[in-house]
A and B are shown apart, each in its own frame.
Chain A
Amino acid sequence: DVKVTQSSRYLVKRTGEKVFLECVQDMDHENMFWYRQDPGLGLRLIYFSYDVKMKEKGDIPEGYSVSREKKERFSLILESASTNQTSMYLCASKDLGRGNTEAFFGQGTRLTVV
């Protein structure tokens, strides 16, 4: 059974803290993604990676960075957390190549910045 695991379900952090969100997949997928979900805005892409050490900006990369040192692991970093980064964060992975495959999501991390 395919699995994408995010390290935390719920996190509460203070403004200005550096925050790490970790994601691991066991499907040997090349592509990994970080989205955030906000009411009325759907899923917005922050960053994605199509290979180890490769990354591409999504629609809303400001205030975030990512790291992919190993194929199975993709980390999202909030350099200095702010209250407008309070959100549900979703990691996903997808097979590379032709576009017609689905992405598999982790269970999500609900981050609250106070």
Chain B
Amino acid sequence: DQQVKQNSPSLSVQEGRISILNCDYTNSMFDYFLWYKKYPAEGPTFLISISSIKDKNEDGRFTVFLNKSAKHLSLHIVPSQPGDSAVYFCAASDAGANNLFFGTGTRLTVIP
């Protein structure tokens, strides 16, 4: 059963606007959440993370928000750029775990 879910397979946004990618999880033991970005024919690269003791983490144009009560996190990209076009994966782990659980990914297209 999928413990991390990304219900939107794709998203299109105009350049300069905000991109919002969503992720839901079911395991209340998860305490660390990550976003990865993946271009075709390349491995995923780490983008940003958040610990469960926080509800927001920012890094430049990227902000991740965590709502623990709703078991929901989101990635905001502002402003969106054409180079942001990629597949974004949400991932989660729990303390002491050796594994990361991934969502199914959202393909973001930023239209120039």
CA A39 – CA B96 in complex, angstroms?
Answer: 30
A40 to chain B, nearest CB (A): 6
Q: Is the CB of B44 within 8 A of A90?
A: yes
Given known A-B contacts A104-B46, A105-B45, A106-B43, A99 and B93 have beta carbons under 8 A apart: yes
CA A45 – CA B6 in complex, angstroms?
Answer: 17
A73 contacts the other chain (Cβ, under 8 Å)? Answer: no
B109 contacts the other chain (Cβ, under 8 Å)? Answer: no
User: Which of A31, A40, A107 meets B43, CB within 8 Å?
Assistant: A107
Tell me how many residues of B have a C-beta within 8 Å of chain A.
29
Q: Is the CB of B44 within 8 A of A43?
A: yes
The stretch of B60-68, B69-77, B98-106 that contacts the partner chain: B98-106
Inside 8 A of B105's CB, which chain A residues have their CB? Answer: 42-43
Given known A-B contacts A94-B98, A100-B31, A102-B49, A108 and B43 have beta carbons under 8 A apart: yes
Q: Is the CB of A40 within 8 A of B9?
A: yes
> B34-54 toward A: CB 8 Å interface, digit per residue (1/0)?
101010011111100101000
A55 to chain B, nearest CB (A): 12
CA A44 – CA B44 in complex, angstroms?
Answer: 13
Q: Which residue of B lies closest to A49 (CB)?
A: B98
Given contacts A42-B104, A92-B43, A98-B95, 13 further A-B contacts (CB under 8 A): A9-B41, A33-B99, A48-B99, A94-B98, A99-B31, A99-B93, A99-B95, A102-B49, A103-B46, A105-B36, A105-B43, A105-B45, A107-B43
Q: Which B residues form the contact surface with A (CB < 8 A)?
A: 6, 9, 31-32, 34, 36, 38, 41-46, 49, 51, 89, 91, 93-100, 102-105
User: Can you name 29 A-B pairs with beta carbons within 8 Å?
Assistant: A35-B102, A41-B104, A42-B6, A42-B89, A42-B104, A43-B89, A43-B102, A44-B102, A50-B98, A90-B43, A90-B44, A92-B43, A92-B100, A97-B96, A98-B96, A99-B93, A99-B94, A99-B95, A99-B96, A99-B97, A100-B51, A102-B34, A103-B46, A103-B91, A103-B100, A104-B46, A105-B43, A107-B43, A110-B41
